[in-house]
Copies of this chain bind each other. A is one copy, B any other.
Amino acid sequence: MQTGRPLEFDPQLAIDAAMGVFWLRGFEATSLSDLLAAMGLSKSSFYNAFGSKQQLFEACLVRFRRRHVERMGEMLHSAASPLAFVREMLLTNAREAREPGPRRGCLIMNTATEFAGRDAAVAACVEDAARDFAAMFRTAIEMAQEHGEIPRNADAAVLARYLLTTMAGLRTMVKAGLPADELEKVVEVAMSALR
């Protein structure tokens, strides 16, 4: 079995580059040439390696999900307490409003609003990611309950979905132009629902 010429680019890195563009501009507003420019590929290499714009997009969603679930896990692990982790997560979302430059929000939430209704495969990616994020929150809440930070009779699954909802809302409000300091106060109100 012959090997042939090896790939000249790193597919993972290319996906990362594409992810950045999709993240910033969404699916529809991103053109093929935008992608090619960002990835540094020719058209044929692109189609050879990724099939189509939408397939690449789905790959980006999967990669985004994996990476961010991982990052959440690390944050939970290194946080002062489970509840501190939750607060930190929400604050991180709110504080995007503080940064200069464009607000890109969360790729998954963006996709849910822009695209999930139109394509089943994409919708599945979004649902999977949402489930994963909620599961991370649920773990944190159960830990907090054992810690005594949250009442033990509370329904951890419902609280987890509540937190996910709040996260999504914060991201939307950032995009809608609310200032960071106001959103940080909103986070404190949101946290008060856990007690």
Residues of B within 8 A of A165 (CB): 166, 169-170, 172-173, 183, 186, 190
Residues of B within 8 A of A102 (CB): 117
A37 CB–B CB distance under 8 Å: no
**B175:A117 contact, CB within 8 angstroms:** yes
Residues of B within 8 A of A175 (CB): 112-113, 116-117
A35 CB–B CB distance under 8 Å: no
| A186 and B158 in contact, given A105-B113, A168-B168, A193-B193 (Cβ under 8 angstroms) | yes
Q: Chain A contact residues (Cβ within 8 angstroms of B): what range?
A: 35 or more
Complex CA–CA separation, A170 to B108 (angstroms): 15
A128 to chain B, nearest CB (A): 10
A10 to chain B, nearest CB (A): 29
A89 to chain B, nearest CB (A): 14
A77 CB–B CB distance under 8 Å: no
A182 CB–B CB distance under 8 Å: yes
What 1/0 flags go to A127-138 for Cβ under 8 Å of B?
A: 100100000000
Q: Which residues of A contact B (CB under 8 A)?
A: 24-26, 28-29, 102-105, 108-110, 112-114, 116-118, 123, 126-127, 130, 155, 158-159, 161-162, 164-173, 175-178, 182-183, 185-186, 189-190, 192-193
Q: What 6 A-B pairs have minimum CB-CB distances, sorted nearest first? A: A169-B169, A28-B28, A168-B172, A165-B169, A193-B193, A112-B176
A selection of 20 A-B contacts at a CB cut-off of 8 Å is A25-B118, A26-B28, A108-B176, A110-B113, A113-B172, A116-B175, A123-B177, A126-B176, A127-B176, A158-B185, A158-B189, A161-B173, A164-B169, A165-B186, A165-B190, A167-B169, A168-B169, A189-B193, A190-B193, A192-B193
